[in-house]
């Protein structure tokens, strides 16, 4: 069972009924789990989610520095081992003493892994960059003007073109960043240089020039004076 704090990416209440997003429905169906969306204005239910966040803010985050989401998860995993062996007043025991009983009551997960991450299709623009979550990632310029597939998860951003990998970057969680692969920049520079090298002067077209006397004869400029 998943208990969610009414976030729009997961679902919402509509006409007094919970309505899950399409992506959440697919995820829930694959793992055979139930999703409970907290009702608006229900502080007791929403407190189940917010209480754990508050506990992390007070007991885990102070004084820590994180270099990446992977580093955050690694530090959190180490800290949870310690935290779960502390006596909790509400539980009346240590969380580590309850884990085996909780596992025994759980059903096994589906053998089919759910689809996660982001996937989109587009045509690569001339600047050979794709935008994901307010950040720009470079793509090999050989794919400019062609259809590409952008596949991203929490750690990587990859771009494919006709079955060929044309970009592979670490996922950046800051906003408004430009991430450039040096190989992509060098390829773009070489392609621009090669394009300028093949530019030639336009072909000179010979145009016949008629003698001015032909025009004089046409308008009879030398005819008799009236």
pLDDT of 75 above 90: yes
Q: How confident is the model at residue 48 (pLDDT cuts 50, 70, 90)?
A: low
Question: Does residue 213 fall inside a structural domain?
Answer: no
**pLDDT value at position 198?**
56
Question: Does residue 147 fall inside a structural domain?
Answer: yes
Q: What's the N-to-C CA distance of the chain in angstroms? A: 111
Question: Does residue 220 fall inside a structural domain?
Answer: no
For residues 86-92, give the mean pLDDT. Answer: 83
Least confident piece of the model among 73-87, 116-130, 134-148, 210-224: 210-224
The reply to whether 16 and 97 lie within a common domain is yes
The reply to whether 126 and 74 lie within a common domain is no
Structural domain of residue 131, as residue ranges?
Answer: 118-197
Question: Does residue 202 fall inside a structural domain?
Answer: no
* % the chain with pLDDT above 90: 39
Q: Which residue has the tokens 């004084």?
A: 63
The reply to whether 101 and 8 lie within a common domain is yes
Residues in the chain: 226
The reply to whether 133 and 84 lie within a common domain is no
Q: How many domains does the chain have?
A: 2
Question: Does residue 217 fall inside a structural domain?
Answer: no
The reply to whether 85 and 8 lie within a common domain is yes
Q: Look at residues 56, 84, 105 and tell me which one is the last residue of a structural domain.
A: 105
Q: How confident is the model at residue 35 (pLDDT cuts 50, 70, 90)?
A: confident
CA-wise closest residue to 44 among 7, 5, 11, 16:
5
Q: Look at residues 105, 137, 152 and tell me which one is the last residue of a structural domain.
A: 105
CA distances from 108 to 2, 31, 32, 100 (A): 15, 9, 9, 14
For residues 199-225, give the mean pLDDT. Answer: 72
The reply to whether 122 and 100 lie within a common domain is no
The reply to whether 8 and 82 lie within a common domain is yes
Q: Look at residues 83, 105, 127 and tell me which one is the last residue of a structural domain.
A: 105
Query: How far does Cα 48 stand from its chain's mean position?
Result: 30
Its pTM stands at 0.65
Q: Which residue has the tokens 């952008």?
A: 150
Q: What is the pLDDT of residues 95-127, one digit of tens each?
A: 888 888 888 888 888 888 887 888 999 999 999
**pLDDT value at position 196?**
65
The reply to whether 135 and 185 lie within a common domain is yes
Mean pLDDT score of the chain, rounded to an integer?
85
- 8: tokens are 């729009």
Report the C-alpha gap between 157 and 149 in whole angstroms.
11
């Amino acid at each position: 069972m998943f208990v969610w704090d009414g976030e729009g990416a997961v679902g919402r209440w509509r006409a007094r009924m919970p309505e899950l997003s399409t992506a959440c429905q697919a995820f829930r169906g694959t793992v055979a789990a139930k999703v409970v969306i907290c009702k608006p204005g229900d502080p007791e239910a929403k407190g189940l989610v917010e209480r754990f966040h508050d506990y992390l803010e007070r007991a885990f985050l102070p004084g820590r520095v994180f270099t990446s989401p992977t580093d955050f998860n690694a530090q959190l995993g180490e800290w949870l081992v310690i935290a779960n062996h502390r006596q909790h007043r509400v539980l009346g025991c240590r969380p580590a003493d309850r884990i085996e009983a909780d596992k025994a009551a759980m059903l096994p997960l589906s053998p089919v892994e759910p689809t996660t991450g982001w996937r989109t299709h587009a045509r690569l623009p001339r600047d050979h960059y794709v935008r994901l979550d307010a950040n720009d990632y470079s793509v090999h310029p050989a794919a400019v003007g062609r259809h590409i597939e952008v596949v991203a998860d929490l750690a990587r951003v990859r771009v494919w073109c006709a079955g060929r990998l044309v970009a592979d970057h670490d996922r950046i969680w800051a906003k408004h960043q430009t991430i450039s692969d040096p190989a992509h920049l060098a390829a773009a520079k070489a392609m621009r240089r090669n394009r300028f090298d093949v530019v030639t002067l336009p072909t000179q077209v010979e145009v016949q020039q008629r003698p001015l006397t032909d025009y004089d004869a046409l308008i009879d400029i030398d005819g008799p004076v009236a």
